[in-house]
């Protein structure tokens, strides 16, 4: 048996054990939440590291462009967080989702473009 097939069989066996044990589903949810929190913590750490490395560049943008950049990143983050709710709400919310993400992306690129003109 090759190693990939063996690994798939092991994962399927563990999934069957977790699914059939009482409390196994709860333990699986806890494990998924723990992995998700570690992933989000890693993203926050990476964002803080990038901010520290590029702090001088961000401050050289000026107050107006920096505010536009921060608002655009915030709007994009909140819009991505609400993706499932906005897509499930219907047509107008889906269009609003597209407009919000498009506007946020445009604002980020406009700030970057204007900063690179000099």
Q: What is the count of structural domains for the chain?
A: 2
pLDDT digits (tens, 9 = 90+) for 24-60: 778 778 888 999 999 999 999 999 999 999 899 889 8
| Beta carbons within 8 Å of 19's beta carbon, 6+ residues apart | 25
Residue 64 sits at φ, ψ, to 5 deg, of: -65, -50
- Give the model's confidence band at 118: pLDDT under 50 very low, under 70 low, under 90 confident, else very high: low
User: Which of 9, 32, 53 is the C-terminal boundary of a domain?
Assistant: 53
40 with 81, same domain: the answer is: no
Q: What is the pTM of this model?
A: 0.66
43 with 61, same domain: the answer is: no
37 with 63, same domain: the answer is: no
103 with 73, same domain: the answer is: yes
């Amino acid at each position: 048996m090759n190693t990939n097939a063996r690994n798939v069989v092991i994962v399927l066996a563990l999934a069957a054990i977790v699914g059939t044990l009482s409390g196994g589903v709860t333990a699986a949810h806890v494990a998924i939440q723990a992995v998700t929190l570690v992933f989000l913590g890693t993203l926050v750490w990476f964002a803080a590291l990038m901010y520290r490395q590029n702090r001088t560049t961000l401050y050289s943008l000026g107050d107006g462009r920096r505010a536009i950049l921060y608002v655009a990143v915030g709007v994009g983050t909140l819009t991505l967080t609400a993706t499932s709710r906005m897509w499930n709400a219907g047509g107008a919310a889906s269009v609003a989702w597209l407009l919000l993400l498009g506007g946020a992306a445009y604002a980020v690129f406009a700030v970057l473009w204007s900063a690179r003109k000099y």
